[in-house]
Structure 1
């Protein structure tokens, strides 16, 4: 049986990520880049490859585990207590030696380090290393080297596993050994990735690498101090967002994983290892509030370059981490899927959808950064904002796929129309930055027409609420985005009725909100939107209570997935999910701004 999604800890070097289970198994690692092929994929198939390092007694009745991150880092320390004694294992994706803060991921060596420290007694340990590169398509040869390391090589991948103080032995397709760790003893392992026809895998001192990586992470937090409410929660979420940032470009990946299911056994299993423009304004706001202004500006620069020259075609909703548009989706039938949930997908065909909300996210982000960007935008910024605004003015009446990216027919989704209004409204306000080509009067007229259309067509008298699409009576939690984006005040009578209807009809236990009826999971972003709406409507105490309930669904490391099962409380969907942590940060800041205690 596969571990619960909430069992996994998250490691990052701002280029790639790894997931480590409570029992000490690295079950997911894509060493080249967040969205590159995995070398460990037991997360998605029991035979998909892993690297386990844990006490021999792990899983027995006398085995207890306590995990925590080193303060303000993604360096994970797991303490195992067994009948024979206790031992700590510290895991990290190493930064380049000497790198600090924004340098951390620029030249990451692609090395996973694990340091074992004896705390008491004498603890029998096991190490099992079974790599399966290219999403488990390849079984590499394992060769013992003269220096005591093991080389695993196949296709384009070389992996070198070393233990400083223990000679490793290959056993067919794996390393499987036992050893003991005594009180005061320290043993370091490092696993280095290299391209078969490129530079050889790096060699690091694991103990020194852990210390250096901790210092690099802590330098991030020194760049920006969050002073609002719920500081510990916000600082943890800011660190997770930094860990999901691809340092070389500044893009923020939506999640570290692919194909973790929204419903166990279902087929809504998508690849989230890309950067979405649809989430852009929310992401930028969260980075500005809780991470670092430099990260916000680098993200914006990435978007400008990725979008390029704007024509008649709609802007893709997502890009690769270096701005790639072609992220075609395919399936991996070799992988059985998490808990049998198939298909496993690589790539995401949502990039081809028309999503009319995208320009509104970008123009709104430009408005958020207006003072930082200066009185006059540079040529690329100017062309982007003007091009997106004119595209909205010409196409806002067209149907699209909407914020939840359904793969059925296009519709007139409420949230998309509202974001079209946002694009024009913010463009009008940015007029002084846009020069003589800004057609502010015409934009304002179209903006007002969109608003009138939304107010007329978006409210359903039968349900007494704003619904998901024009002409529909189906409630959709995306209606909560209207006050968040400034389209309507939260205390507007129709908006108050909508908030109440969403809470009544889509609400579940633990403060969770579903996106629509019959969805089994509470969607964490929507739940945090409800917190923001209540705070803006003046219900500050209830908003704070709801916030505390929702954040209580985080795992023991403070990590949030996309959704929470309403019956079992289990995490669902890809993890850690950027949108969930973005929602937490923005809701905490809204509670701070609202003045609630």
Structure 2
């Protein structure tokens, strides 16, 4: 099997889990119970780890052409196959609960994959290949034909039911294959429903009716949000993607729906991103707020407060499971060959164990951003969380840490980590009137000012004439672009201008892209969007808009961004779709609308 490019995949979501469907009509990734549960289709990471392909038999042959797009304001994907015999549309979705509207979307998703085939012209012969492999490909299910023509696939804790719209399936020992013709005007609905072997049974739906209902649910949801800034089409789509990455039951936003898609094909920087990072918290909240999604922002904040709980002396984890789980211990799937041979394939993420000093600043900044919505008097849990995080920063800001890029070598005094310690104390001073008698704004302000002085003294490198990534280091780091974005220094400050010039010169990867550091092999999209924001704040609007336009071209054909871009080939790299990239787009678009916003 030829490995599809990462950009060849579209994203389906029911706000419970996500699936990736390729241009070739194969669903190669689906973790049906929730984003971070084991896959039942995992061909994304190994040819033998399961898939469900539905495409013309002529797919890939001369004369076959594919067009695809999302149905407006949804994550329902319509793919049109043009063949010498005619044209056919396949519309794919993860079903919404019947009747779900507005913020009910995803609360009780039935875990059903819908595929509706519609003949457009001529007569097109279609091919179906259903090969589920639960537990990341470890299990081969028994396949049982049912009296109603469905096929039951059962293995371990998983039960899947395939219904083929009245077309008699051909069941082999380990897969279902079938060919059938679709004429112009004919509609065939197929679905796969997930259930638990010792729990809830798979739901039975009419795929055609359920698809129409799912489109209405998404569009009703988007109609309740009104964004008035620039680039409305791109912002609305990115906000839809962020909604699709939201685990509706808790409000947590997954960084991506995938694991182990490589930062460099053949490399070993392959991590599991199916969790929610507090580092992204303030940026996520701001993007949702900008995109006029206040209810989602509030729910995300409530999830964070509950996940963090009462703050003790230990560092707050940088990431949590989607329902607030802390222990995300990492292991390797030795049986999987990895995307493009990129090993290891990892499940879990050991970054939860690291000390990352920026995390409290991200959370307190989020509280500060939401302060008008939270009211003049905070409730006890919120008050205790902010007080605990602030005191933790006051006691530990001087320690080394692993930094925002989560290095897996040694602790260092990373500049951006110290800046976010400053952010934590600066925002806490402002919030002090809402924090009760234990607030100590005078002491916090003194420590804040000390941190600022240390950053300006030890973070500046005389030889390079720029702020380095870590104290005493000449190595540049694109995260310094965050300094003006959080108000630590004005964008027009001479030191910032000199640093950004050095970053553009040394870390520029071409095509408007920035690498995170000097040895990073690929352009990192979030940093590139941060540069757009910096340029807008510095008064260089024409450059900012030109850069933004170039970055938009790195999306795939259905508007999805992964984490990184290969500067030579332009290929997407890393887990996809990446929340932080879409957050970067929304924030940059708003900064171009209002450069002075915070």
User: TM-score, normalized by length of structure 2?
Assistant: 0.99
Residue in 2 aligned with 1:237? 238
Q: 1:69 corresponds to which residue?
A: 70
User: Does the alignment pair 1:529 with 2:530?
Assistant: yes
Paired residues of 2:537 and 2:596 also in contact (CA < 8 A): no
The answer to whether the 8 A contact 2:36-2:275 is kept is yes
Once the two structures are superposed, the pairs formed by residues 366-515 of structure 1 within 5 Å of their partners are 366-515=367-516
For residue 276 of structure 1, report the CA deviation from its aligned partner. 0.2
Q: Distance in 2 between matches of 1:462 and 1:551?
A: 35
Name structure 1 gaps, 5 residues minimum: none
> Can you list the C-alpha shifts for 1:365-387, whole angstroms capped at 9, x where unaligned?
00000000000100000000010
Q: Deviations over 1:62-92 (max 9, x none)?
A: 0000000000000000000000000000000
Secondary structure (helix, strand or coil) at the match of 2:437 reads helix
Tell me the residue number matched to 2:316.
315
**Inter-partner Cα distance in structure 1 for 2:201 and 2:287:** 39
Query: SS at 2:135's partner residue?
Result: helix
- Mapped partners of 1:147, 1:292: distance in 2: 43
Indicate conservation of the 8 Å contact 2:105/2:221, yes or no. no
> Are the aligned partners of 2:149 and 2:166 in contact in 1 as well (CA < 8 Å)?
no
How far did 1:480 drift? 0.7
Q: Deviations over 1:216-240 (max 9, x none)?
A: 1112212211111111111110000
- C-alpha distance in 2 between matches for 1:540 and 1:438: 41
State the secondary structure of the residue aligned to 1:435. coil
Question: Hey, what's the Cα distance between the residues in 1 that align with 2:316 and 2:240?
Answer: 29
Aligned to 2:33: 32
Whole-angstrom CA distance in 2 between matches of 1:568 and 1:436: 58
Partner of 2:328: 327
Distance 1:509 1:48 in 2: 36
- 8 Å contact kept, 1:221–1:291: no
Please tell me whether the aligned partners of residues 130 and 177 of structure 2 are also in contact (alpha carbons under 8 angstroms).
yes
Flag structure 2 segments of 5+ consecutive residues without an equivalent: none
- 2-structure distance, mates of 1:419, 1:478: 11
Give runs of aligned pairs for residues 120-199 of structure 1, distance below 5 A.
120-199=121-200
Query: Following the alignment from structure 1 to structure 2, what is the Cα–Cα distance between the partners of residues 78 and 310?
Result: 49
1:146, 1:403 → 2: CA distance?
Answer: 56
Kept after mapping to 2: 8 A contact 1:512/1:524: yes
Distance 1:594 1:356 in 2: 28
Deviations 1:512-541 (CA, angstroms, capped at 9, x unpaired): 000011322100000001000100000001
Distance 2:132 2:150 in 1: 15
Q: Distance in 1 between matches of 2:411 and 2:338?
A: 29
Matching residue of 1:516: 517
Shift of 1:410: 0.5
Shift, 1:435, TM fit: 2.0
Shift in Å at residue 595 of structure 1?
8.6
User: Would you say the 8 A contact 1:317–1:351 is kept in 2?
Assistant: yes
String of CA shifts for 1:386-419, please: whole Å, max 9, x gaps. 1000000000000000000000010000010000
Residue equivalent to 1:575:
576
Using the alignment, how far apart are the partners of 1:146 and 1:509 within structure 2?
59
1:237·1:582 contact (CA, 8 Å) conserved in 2? Answer: yes
By how many angstroms is 1:172 displaced?
1.4
Partner of 1:86: 87
SS in 1 for 2:78: strand
| TM-score normalised per structure 1 | 0.99
Deviations 1:266-323 (A, max 9, x none): 0000000000001111111001011510000000000000001111000000000000
How far the C-alpha of 1:200 sits from its partner, in A, is: 1.3
Please name the residue that 2:566 is paired with.
565
Q: CA RMSD in A?
A: 0.9
Question: Deviating runs (4+, > 3 A) in structure 1?
Answer: none
Alignment check: 8 A CA contact 1:150 1:169 kept:
no
Aligned residues: 596
1:160 and 1:312 mapped to 2: Cα distance?
49
Inter-partner Cα distance in structure 2 for 1:4 and 1:237: 21
Cα distance in 2 for residues equivalent to 1:185 and 1:279: 46
Q: Please give the alpha-carbon distance, in whole angstroms, between the structure 2 residues aligned to 1:512 and 1:351.
A: 29
CA contact (8 A) 1:93 1:113 kept: yes
SS at match of 2:588: helix
Report the Cα distance in structure 1 between the residues aligned to 2:214 and 2:488, rounded to whole angstroms.
44
